[in-house]
Structure formats: structure tokens, C-alpha cells
A and B are shown apart, each in its own frame.
Chain A
Amino acid sequence: MVSEPSMAVDLGGIKMRNPINTASGTFGYGWQFEGFFDVSCLGAITTKGCSAEPWDGNPAPRMAEVTSGIMNSVGLQNPGIRAFVEQDGEYLSGLRERGCQVICQVAGHSIDEYVRAVELYGELAPFASGLELNISCPNVSQGGAAMGATPKAAAEVMRAVRGRTNLPVVVKMAPHDVPEIARALEAEGADALSLINTIPAMAINVHTRRSRLSRPTAGLSGPAVHPIAVRMVWEAHRVVSIPICGIGGVTSGEDAAELILAGATSVSVGTANLVDPTSAPRILGELEDWVREQGATDVNELIGAVEC
């Protein structure tokens, strides 16, 4: 009998039964998918970003389909952490008990807002296995760049929240200056990195000469960004020793395998959830097949195992 390979991974202290996670903003708060499959089969889910206070998000239209992807400008609409916990806490506690880790995403416009949000999660969300600090949303900047746009700015946010929580902190990175920002975050005590966030992009309706979304630019995701994500995970993996959650256009087990070979410890399924809500468990199955086919007894043997 062929023994089953071990699929368990450790994302900076978040002990996942397998490497498959979900990208924040593409998986609601988890329960929306229970009608499609048993969500607890996943290693983790990452919940929609929440801030200390509710955010309205951006006007419509917030989505445009482009070749091999979508662009969104949701702008982190969320009910605030209190309402989130009230509405979804019981479900998420149960999910955690069923063996799936729950990573809660933290949103903020300023260092103070990140700190308040981290503290609120600590007070109100005992179901959280870890926090994902979103310092790279391209749709919430108010005239300036995202909070994590430079190594210095990213480090400042990380430094401010590090002392405020004992939970593992994963930092969601923007798709630029990856080695520099990754090093800065590791130096400030980040437990793990997740990348990439959506890529700032633009789509124009040539008939009306207007942006196809309510803002001039929006975040591109889906298969179109996948090779860029693979490259950036590889770049980050070469310069830091903390684990990485690879994200970007994963629609198959092979896509997930590429990110793992490039250096990812876990892999998030994102846009694919919105297209085929059963994507994540299918990708998990395909990934297991690949690990077996590689003759590995443990998926950890394959992390960063690309031969360039």
C-alpha cells in the first residue's frame, strides 16, 4: 500500500492540516461556501478584511472582467470587527473546532487604525488562529500610496502591531519591491508573509472614455497574475526565512504546486472561488496527487524545491 503523504504545514505558527488557504475578499466569511463543500477540509480560510470601524467601500461598479482575470475596487467594505464577530463568530469558532484554521484579515488607513483593529480582534475574536495584516490594498488609498508601499512604511506598521498581539501575524504584501519589503517585515517580527495582493491596473470603456470601474484604477486578479505571483514568491523566499503564503491566480493543483516550488508554505485560492465555488477542495485534491507523483512523503520537502 502506498502511504499517504503528509500535507500538514506550519505558516508561522498557524498549524494547517494542509497547505490550502483562501484569499481574503474571495471567500466571504467562510459560511457562504458550506453549501458547496465542507469548508473544514481546508488548511485555513482567511476572512474578509475588517477594520475597527465599519467601512462603506467604493461606489459601483466595483468589478470588470478582463482577459484571464477580473479587476475589483471593492475598497474593503466591511461591517467593522464588532459586527463581524457578532455575525460570524459562532460559525468561525465551530470551523476552528472542526480543524480548519481561521486567519482574520486586519484593515486600516493609518497605524492607529491597524493597532486598534489588532487589539479588537484580540479582545473579541478568540477563534482567530492568526491575523493577516493587509498593508497593500490598492483600493483604499486616499490620495496616497497603500500603507505598505515602501520598506520603511511597511516596517512601521509591523512594528506598531507586533507588541499588541501574541497571535501569529501574516503580512499581505503588494506586488512590488518584494525583496526589500519582505526583509523589512521579517526584521520587525512578522511571522509570515502572504503575496501577492492584486496588481493595480486600469480598464477603459473606449466608447464612453471612462474607467470601467468607479475609480480610475483597480486591482487585477485571476489567472493573468499567476506567473507574476510565482516570481514574487520566489524572490521573497530567497531573502527571508519566515514562511510564505503564495497567492495569485491559482485555479489548479499545478498552479498551487508552482507556488510551493517557488517557496510558498501554503497557497491561497482567490478569484477561482468566485468562478467555481468548489475550486479550493478540487485544488487540494490535485495538489495531493502532485505530491504523491513527486514521490515525496511530506509536502514540506517540496517547498522552494524549484531547480533554476
Chain B
Amino acid sequence: MLPSSDVRQFAFDVASNERVGDGIFRMVMHAPGLAPILSPGQFVNVAVPGDPSHITRIPLSFAGTDPKAQTIEIVYAVVGEGTARLSRMGEGDASTVLGPCGKGWRLDDVSGPALLVAGGVGAPPVLAAARGLLARGIPFDVVLGAQTAGKLWGVGLAKSLGAGRVVVTTDDGTAGIKGFTTVAVEQMQGERDYADVLTCGPQPMMAGVARLALADGSSCQVSMERMMTCGFGACNTCNVAMAAGGYKACCTDGPVFDAREVAW
């Protein structure tokens, strides 16, 4: 069989783009053709117009899609010049987006109950997984961690998606448990047996969550983040080191990996 790629280029226009937290924005993009074919945990690579001196696209995960309205819901943090430019796009502004990129959550492998653990803007792909689990009737709990209360996003959505429990942690204690998500994970593991743990967030956080999950006998899927250029396997810039040696490509082999595969 000939090798092939599913990634295509689509036109999009902005349906809405609003601030939903301290440096956190939510964009709904109208991307006919792309929205219905995205799976939870995949990502899209967005060309943000307005500054020809910054040429790269911005790879972004999504919290959900509406196949009927042909829209994709993206929640992102403004962390640099590119995401600042993205936050200034207004309703009706148009550009292009590449997708569907990468391999998403393997939800068919999840037997449940599942524990979903997100740090910062790891929340959107984790809540995309929650939608998938809801559709499959698999019970799950959610841990949402942030630096501070103002940067927290997704608590209401997690509840509305039918999470058994939603536990919040903040580094500074301004909401929920003071500390990292791992503190909450350890507590919750003592109270319920989780068959599966799915996590997305900063790499040190995921390493900690993966360690706890594997020690507890759970399966663990992790969604990795890397500096990424093309998003479809052409440039080899987004490598993830593997426990068995060598690298895999975050954009085509991931971004979701089995935690045991990754060299933490």
C-alpha cells in the first residue's frame, strides 16, 4: 500500500473569538469540511495572518467540534507574538488551517472508569476526550490544574459533559487544592480504581501523572507538545524521544502516545 497523508488545507473564518480568562481565549472557527472529520486529541495547524515576518503556523488542539455548524472550538493561551496575533482575529476574519493532524486519543482502548488530567491549556484536548467518553458511556472524573484561578478554563464544561467529579488545583491556591495536579491524582486514586488515565499539560506534569498512573496499574495516554513546523510529517522538527531509543514524530505518530513509550 502506498504511504499517504490525510492532512488537507481548509479555508476558515472566525465565528467568534473572545477572552475567557487571564490570557486565555476561545475561538470558534467555521471550517467547512474539516470540522466533521476531526477526532478528539488530533490538532489543527492555523495560519494567522497579519505579520509576514512571522511565517510559521500555530498548531492548536481543540475542545470540540460541531459537525452540523462546521465549527471547531479552540481554547488557547496567549504565550507569544503568534498567539497574541491570533487573539486579535475578529469575527469574519479568514485564513487557512491544515488538518486533521496527528493521531488522537485511542478512546476505543479506554474501558473506564477513566481519570482525565489537564494542566493549563491541556484542558481543551482533555475535554475533547471527555466528549468522546460521554458518547461511549464510559464514566470519568476530571482534574483541571492551572497556575492561578484566573487562568482556569473548562470547569463548567467538564461538569456539563457528565464528569463524576471535577477537581481543581492551582499552583497558588486561588482555586481548589493548592498544588500541582499530581496531588489531586494521588488523592483520587485512593478513592476510585481508574482503569485509564488520559493527560495533557506541561511535560513535567505529564511525567508525574504518568508515573502515578502506571504505578497504580492504569493505562496512560499522554498528549505531547513540541515546537512544530509543518504538522504533517514533512520536516522532522517535532521529535519525541522514545523509551526504546530514537524518536517519533509528535505531529504524525502523536501527539497522543502511550506513556510507556515516552522517554520522560
Contact = CB atoms under 8 A, between A and B. Distances in A.
A28 interface: yes
Interface residues of B, number: 36
A276 B47 contact: yes
Nearest to B233: A32
Contacts of A28: 233-235
B85 interface: no
B57 A77 contact: no
A35 B5 contact: yes
B9 A275 contact: no
A57 B232 contact: no
B3 interface: yes
Given A61-B227, A273-B230, A36 B240 contact: no
B55 A65 contact: yes
> Which among B3, B7, B227, B236 has the highest number of chain A CB atoms within 10 Å?
B236
B2 A77 contact: no
Given A57-B247, A63-B227, A273-B230, A91 B3 contact: yes
A34 B227 contact: no
A68 interface: yes
A277 B236 contact: no
B56 A275 contact: yes
A48 B230 CA distance: 14
Nearest to B229: A274
A274 B227 CA distance: 13
B2 A31 contact: yes
Contact of A25 (B7, B236, B240): B236
B241 interface: yes
A275 B55 contact: yes
A54 B7 CA distance: 26
B6 A35 contact: yes
Given A64-B227, A278-B9, A74 B238 contact: no
A166 interface: no
B236 A48 contact: yes
A25 B8 contact: no
Interface string A248-286: 000000000000000000000001011111100000000
Contact of B234 (A56, A63, A88, A273): A273
Nearest to A278: B9
B4 A35 contact: yes
Contacts of A273: 230, 234
Given A56-B246, A60-B240, A67-B53, A274 B230 contact: yes
Interface of A: 25-29, 31-36, 48, 54, 56-57, 59-65, 67-70, 72, 74, 77, 87-88, 90-91, 94, 222-223, 271, 273-278
Interface of B: 2-9, 47, 52-57, 82, 96, 98, 226-230, 232-241, 245-247
Question: Which 3 residue pairs spanning A and B have beta carbons closest together?
Answer: A63-B237, A28-B234, A274-B230
